Chain A
Amino acid sequence: MLFHTPEFLFYFLPAALLVHRLALIGSRNSYSSLARLCLLVATLVFYGWTHTWWLLPFAFSVVFDFGWSILLVRSTDARVRRLLCTLSVVQNISLLGYFKYWDAVVLRLAMWFPATARWLHPHGLELPPGISFYTFESLSFVIDVYRREILPPRNPLDFFSFIAMFPRFVAGPIVRYREISEQLHDYHGMRMLGGLTLFARGLFLKLCFADSFAVFTGYVSHAPERIGAAAAWLGTLAYAMQIYFDFSGYSLMAIGLGAALGFDFPDNFRRPYLAGSLQEFWRRWHISLSSWLRDYVYHSLGGNRGSRLTTYRNLFLTMLLGGIWHGAGIQYAVWGAWHGAFLSVERALGWHRHPPSIVGWARTFLVVTTGWVFFYSGDVKQAFAILQAMAFMRPGVETFSAGAILDNPVTTALCVAGVAYCFVIEPRAGMADQPKLAPAFREQLVATCLMAGALILGLSQFTTPFLYFQF
């Protein structure tokens, strides 16, 4: 179920909020078991709505991880604890690997070594949405228990309701158990007004901005071998804006829905395209993933505690892993390596310590935007074809046409408004990415207009699925 579908907006969401509110009757400052159960059931309905079998890998992951955490607490032997933690890592990586990478690896092997096709077969199953997110959350829970930073809850329902929160279930933000467990025990009630206000903003960003940019992105991604420089740049810049509004819109919706249910989720985006260095960019973009990678991969590899070269290696490997996390295609690994390499270069040259400047901003924006080419291309060959066009190394097979812009005044105006929002309005207005307890009348008016805009202008064009659902 997607956030912008009628079945979610007009049926599921009102019903889920109403039932959740009813389940909270009589429980002050505590999150009742009934409410936890209600949240869990709502998530199962939300997630299993399209394919019921998607619930199976989820159940497998959380039941086993809860079991590992209980065994970890009971065990005092360091070797046994390490073994249990390793088993959890293997289990989660295997689950992710099976659904996300198995088919791609098998097909590639069959291409290189045809003999393998006889005994290795692709499973052909669709990737269950959100599997990358909930396995990471579940894995971080077990690692935190192993590190003795948290204790697993006595009531498994606490753990299940931490993982199974439908607002952030399929595309994050990736939350740690310790951030939610405190809220489960010191619950302050639903904040529907503030939460839904934020949800309306996210819905507008997704439907009106992201989907309008998608119109121009599609042009490049559908015929990368035929485009010239102008079209290649137009498509790539459009994609940069599309993915930002798509994912930040989704994150705002998730944070807003979390608040409507009474939970605070951390920020996931902080105006990333204004970053003056790549390091700063990664502190502003998909914050929950980059901090996860920092805490569980980069630090585990040694972080910046070793020599300079070791630090560069750790940075590179962390970003490479981050790239691979996004998908099985080689282009994702190249994207991760691209970022890892530039982060290392930046650190080696000391650019990350420079005060904010237009040069730093332009350099960062160029690196990030160029990196998106690998991200949205179907494969590496396509990516290089687009990069070639962007570098003016291939005269445009088709000349650039203003037709789509002139014939689409509404879509074009929304794109212009999106750029203005990203670079001017959002930074200057200092818009909060966290819901307010009691939004003022002006904020409610804005939210009402945004919701109307999303429903009327957003739904009257093709709505693309959330980009991060495929990861």
Chain B
Amino acid sequence: MPHRRLAIPLFPCAIGLVLLFFHGFYTAAGLPPPREAYRTPFAELGYVLRYLAGQKPDRVIASRRAGTLHLFSAGDLEMQVRRYGAAGAHALTAGARPVLDTLKAQGVTVVPVLIPTKLSLYREELPYSIGKRGRWSLPPTDADPEDPDFVHQLLDHGMPEAIDLYEPFRAFRRAYPERFLYPPLDYHWTSLGSALAVVSIARELMDRGLLSVEPQWLSEGRRPLSGSLLTDQYPLPRWYLALASEFQSEEEVVRFVTQPVPEAEDRLILLGTSFSQFPPEGFLGQLRSVFGRPMEVFVKPNNGYAGGFQMMKEAHFKLRRGDLVIWELPLCCLNLGDPAIATDFEVESAPTIQ
């Protein structure tokens, strides 16, 4: 009688466990299972393993999002406007200028705000220094902290009404080197960084007669960095972010004395990016406190330039004479997409106050 070898069902059991885990995980969490492979719990475990094995976080992000790693890319943490030059500034201005002028003629003030990159201020503080890899691995473009031609062209010629945050940020960094305007593992600013931005904007607008009350600074101690801030940069699961010591950094929390908001006051409109995503001690909440105006917020990550203006074209929204629009222009991942069309914006002819 032929001997029949006993087959141990290890592999079928493993498959069963995988299926059970996948369906059980989402059933227990009450969430719909993801359709994208990179969002499965298995993939999230993979991110952790890759990270622990020494894969740079931005490479993890790149391998998840894009698939292609540019050998010379310094990654998300050091994103900056590069190679845009004066021509890039010219293109941006050409797209925006007609809108800015048209709105100004109708009584709506748009104030572009240039948000500096972390790389330009904290180059030596980055998790890994790209400047130390030797000349064979360091392309000259990454050696430039920023694109000065782009910034100068924009501020001096294209958009003179823009507010430059570079100088106040650099001055603060020199005066208080131990107080971080950007968290160590993210390129967005901390609560302190956004507070400094709000103060700088407020002072500039006071000089222009658009704001009458000086911001009153309330420092409220320190807090752990928010998870949302980190998960924006890391594809690591929240359970790992909560566990790993390197993600347990703190930031200074800053609030301002909240100004009363008169009912018929002109509005403050924010065309924001991911820099405005973290209320209440972030940029958005601080602006709300300082300006004492009713606020309308249009926030879109990745700096959707055209998108920002297009969002104001919602059917229920109309600009009014006297509105003040703050338009964030982070000098990283700047989108020089389709220009906005001036005639697309309808400004209510009858002002609500005056």
Contacts and interface: CB of A to CB of B under 8 A. Distances in A.
B316 interface: no
Interface in B318-353: none
A6 B46 contact: no
B185 interface: no
Contact of B70 (A10, A219, A455): A219
Interface string B274-294: 000000000000000000000
B218 interface: no
Contacts of A214: 67
A107 B9 CA distance: 56
Interface of B: 5, 7-12, 14-15, 18-19, 22-23, 33-38, 40, 42-47, 49-50, 53-56, 59-60, 63-72, 133, 136-139
Interface stretch (A19-27, A125-133, A246-254, A404-412): A404-412
Contacts, number: 155
A325 B19 CA distance: 39
Contacts of A231: 71
Given A196-B15, A438-B5, A464 B42 contact: no
B35 A5 contact: yes
B7 A409 contact: no
A218 B19 contact: no
Contacts of B40: 6, 455, 459
Contacts of B138: 401
Contact of A451 (B8, B15, B50): B15
Given A6-B40, A219-B69, A445 B10 contact: yes
Contacts of B18: 10, 451, 455
A124 interface: no
A188 to B, nearest CB: 17
Contacts of A455: 18, 40, 42-43, 46
B8 A444 contact: yes
Contacts of B71: 219, 231, 400-401, 403-404
A222 interface: yes
Most B CB within 10 A of own CB, among A5, A399, A410 = A410
A4 interface: yes
Contacts of A400: 71, 136
B136 A462 contact: no
Nearest to B4: A438
A411 B65 CA distance: 15
Given A6-B34, A10-B33, A457 B10 contact: no
A106 to B, nearest CB: 29
Most B CB within 10 A of own CB, among A5, A231, A402, A444 = A444
B11 A410 contact: no
Contacts of B11: 193, 196-197, 200, 439, 444, 447-448, 451
A463 B70 contact: no
A229 to B, nearest CB: 14
Interface string A430-471: 000000001111001101100110011111111110000000
Contacts of B47: 460
A398 interface: yes
A66 B327 CA distance: 65
A7 B12 CA distance: 19
A460 B72 contact: no
B14 A448 contact: yes
A462 B33 contact: no
Interface string A385-428: 00000000000001111111011111101000000000000000
B166 to A, nearest CB: 28
A215 interface: yes
Given A407-B55, A410-B55, A399 B136 contact: yes
A413 B35 CA distance: 28
Contact of B46 (A4, A440, A460, A464): A460
Nearest to A11: B33
B10 A441 contact: yes
A460 B8 CA distance: 30
25 contacts: A5-B37, A6-B34, A10-B33, A193-B12, A219-B68, A219-B71, A401-B71, A401-B138, A404-B71, A410-B49, A410-B53, A411-B59, A438-B5, A439-B7, A439-B11, A445-B10, A451-B14, A455-B40, A455-B42, A455-B43, A456-B46, A460-B38, A460-B47, A460-B60, A463-B37
A4 B5 CA distance: 33
A14 interface: yes
Nearest to A10: B22
A440 B7 CA distance: 7
A100 to B, nearest CB: 25
Given A6-B33, A231-B71, A404-B69, A461 B10 contact: no
Nearest to A413: B53
B50 A410 contact: yes
Interface of A: 4-7, 10, 14, 192-193, 196-197, 200, 214-216, 218-219, 222, 231, 398-404, 406-411, 413, 438-441, 444-445, 447-448, 451-452, 455-464
Contacts of B15: 196, 451
A10 B24 CA distance: 12
B14 A460 contact: no
A294 B5 CA distance: 42
Contacts of A197: 11
Contacts of A411: 55, 59, 63
Contacts of B139: 398-399, 401
A411 B23 CA distance: 29
B144 to A, nearest CB: 15
A204 to B, nearest CB: 13
B49 A398 contact: no
B8 A456 contact: no
A222 B72 CA distance: 13
Given A219-B68, A219-B70, A439-B11, A462 B38 contact: yes
Closest 8 interchain pairs by CB? A460-B46, A462-B67, A218-B68, A459-B43, A455-B42, A444-B11, A461-B63, A448-B14
A460 to B, nearest CB: 3
A456 B64 contact: no
A404 B67 CA distance: 13
Contacts of A403: 71-72, 133, 137
A409 B53 contact: yes
A409 B67 contact: no
Contacts of A193: 7, 9, 11-12
A409 B50 CA distance: 8
Given A401-B137, A459-B40, A407 B63 contact: no
B50 A401 contact: no
Given A6-B40, A457-B46, 12 more contacts: A5-B35, A200-B11, A401-B72, A403-B72, A404-B69, A408-B69, A441-B8, A444-B9, A451-B18, A452-B14, A462-B65, A464-B67
Contacts of A4: 37
B67 A408 contact: no
B25 to A, nearest CB: 11
Contact of A462 (B35, B55, B66, B70): B66
Most B CB within 10 A of own CB, among A216, A400, A455, A461 = A461
A249 to B, nearest CB: 15
